[in-house]
Amino acid sequence: MRGPHDLDERGTRRYPNADMMRSRGQSDDTPADRNERLVLASASPRRREILKRAGVEFEVRTPEIAEEMRPGERPEQLTQRLAREKALAVVSQLGAAPRRWVLGADTVVVLGESVLGKPRDAEHAVRLLSSLVGQRHRVITGIALADSASRTVRSQAVESWVSMGMASENEIRAYVASGEPLDKAGAYALQGEGGRQFVDRVEGSRSNVIGLPLEETLALLADARLSEAEGEVASRPKGEPPS
């Protein structure tokens, strides 16, 4: 019932890449197409891998923020707020010039009304995963793109649904003993053995479940860079050619 998923192909083939960005009105030599100006505000190797496979060039800076849920805060609000805070924390490290785009992200697993974070230890991982098997849960990632020059931030939350099959305690403990789920929200990795062993179905973005909704992230980048290019054209003195 729980067969392997073709994660690599399904995680990348359906999403836009740099060619899609150029098709939205950007030429190869416009300032808006300089991918090296992107900074990823995350230490997550999974987010780095998703961007690399999409052909996006970037550097990594690690933000330091308190990742705590506020009273009455919904998961969608939580993930967007933390993504914005991560992006702005790195903007503060970089300064206003040269202008950079900084991408922050935060992912949570939601079962009913409960937000499940990363496990504290192996026993906690067993409890988290035991609560998810045989159930359908949400994975929500907030993404935020900050402009280091203006400190303005664009953000959104992306939701996917994950259905898991049943599993025995021995199967769960054996998986936790592998070490794979110990740094993952909800205590499983869709792209690894956790996905192959426990996940029956994903509705929505698969890369979102892994930690970064690629389609929405690239659209956010494309929109921001297109707005930047249009702003540069509008501010250029009449008759002055592009530099």
Q: Is 183 a catalytic residue?
A: no
d(CA 80, CA 143): 6
Structure pTM? Answer: 0.79
Residue 128's nearest CA partner among 43, 194, 80, 72 is 194
Residue 200's nearest CA partner among 114, 132, 141, 110 is 132
Q: How many CB atoms lie within 10 A of CB 37?
A: 19
Residue 206's nearest CA partner among 87, 44, 46 is 46
Q: What residues form DSSP beta bridges with 144?
A: 104, 155
pLDDT at 160: 98
Q: What is the pLDDT along the chain (243 residues), one digit of tens a residue?
A: 333 333 333 333 333 344 433 333 333 333 334 444 899 999 999 999 999 999 999 999 999 898 889 999 999 999 999 999 999 999 999 988 889 999 999 999 999 989 998 999 999 999 999 999 999 999 999 999 999 999 999 999 999 999 999 999 999 999 999 999 999 999 999 999 999 999 999 999 999 999 999 999 999 999 887 766 655 544 455 555 554
d(CA 50, CA 45): 9
pLDDT at 193: 95
d(CA 141, CA 207): 10
- Class of the domain covering 7-226: alpha beta
Task: Map tokens 């399904």 to a residue.
Answer: 10
pLDDT at 24: 36
d(CA 199, CA 195): 5
Q: Which of 106, 147, 183, 223 is catalytic?
A: 106
Residue 211's nearest CA partner among 193, 233, 184 is 184
